[in-house]
Amino acid sequence: MIVTTTTETVPYTHPWVQKVDGAPVFHLRAGSTIERGQMTALLDGPLQAAKVWSHQLREAQLKGIDALFAEEPEYDRLVAIFSAEGEEAEQLSDDDKKLAKAVDPLLVKHWPAYADLVAQMERRRTLVPIVALTRYCTGWENVRDENGAVIPFEADKNGHVADRALRRLQEVDLLFAGSRAFSLQFGGGEEKNFERPSSSEDGPKTSKSASPRAKGGRSKARGGRKTPA
């Protein structure tokens, strides 16, 4: 269901308990365009949790590979793997996927620009449900804490969920109800950023000029760092 006004609310219950008597119900609303902009500004600014696009990840990965693996025999293969997009990425061999999975933690550990993006994605995945539920939940029923005690709904002076009520929520309630509250702000569709995206996630494409090297083409200059142990 798509909410058409800022005062209309829709009930949300976790899909796996919808037929259970006494299941928790969260009443959610869609905010105005200004409210949505304020939420985005909060995430992008003070909370440092802006959305990370797939082309940003890919460019950081390729620059890290260029700096850390330039002298390795698998260099060209790594560039090809991490440059793959769309159908090309889906068609990677199992060996290529295993290699990418093994190299990714090394990039996180040894290439700060990539590590920063990964950290930003984790911040966003954690904070988006919290921010959205705080702002766009107008009430709830049958919501209980980890000890089974009913949590009374309470709003603060700004009309947001009061922190002392919010912090008692079980993690699963906060994550799923908050994610649903966030999706309502965008016409009911889920935004892709709750799971860590791969280099082939849909998004703006990486231009060849943005990549440190074209696939299969090594530069004669070798100014990069050595491969980490």
Q: Assign 188 a pLDDT band (cuts: 50, 70, 90).
A: low
Q: What is the pLDDT of residue 187?
A: 78
Please give the Cα distance from 194 to 167 (Å, whole number): 20
Span 19-78, pLDDT tens digits: 999 999 999 999 999 999 999 999 999 999 999 999 999 999 999 999 999 999 999 999
Using a pLDDT cut of 90, give the percent of the chain over it: 77
Span 139-150, pLDDT tens digits: 999 999 999 999
Neighbours of 133 (CB within 10 A): 27
Span 83-131, pLDDT tens digits: 999 999 999 999 999 999 999 999 999 999 999 999 999 999 999 999 9
CA distances from 138 to 6, 28, 107, 108 (A): 11, 6, 43, 40
Q: Assign 186 a pLDDT band (cuts: 50, 70, 90).
A: confident
Span 72-95, pLDDT tens digits: 999 999 999 999 999 999 999 999
CA distances from 89 to 51, 93, 101 (A): 22, 9, 13
- Token pair for residue 19? 């037929």
pTM summary value: 0.76
What does the pLDDT average to over 163-172?
97
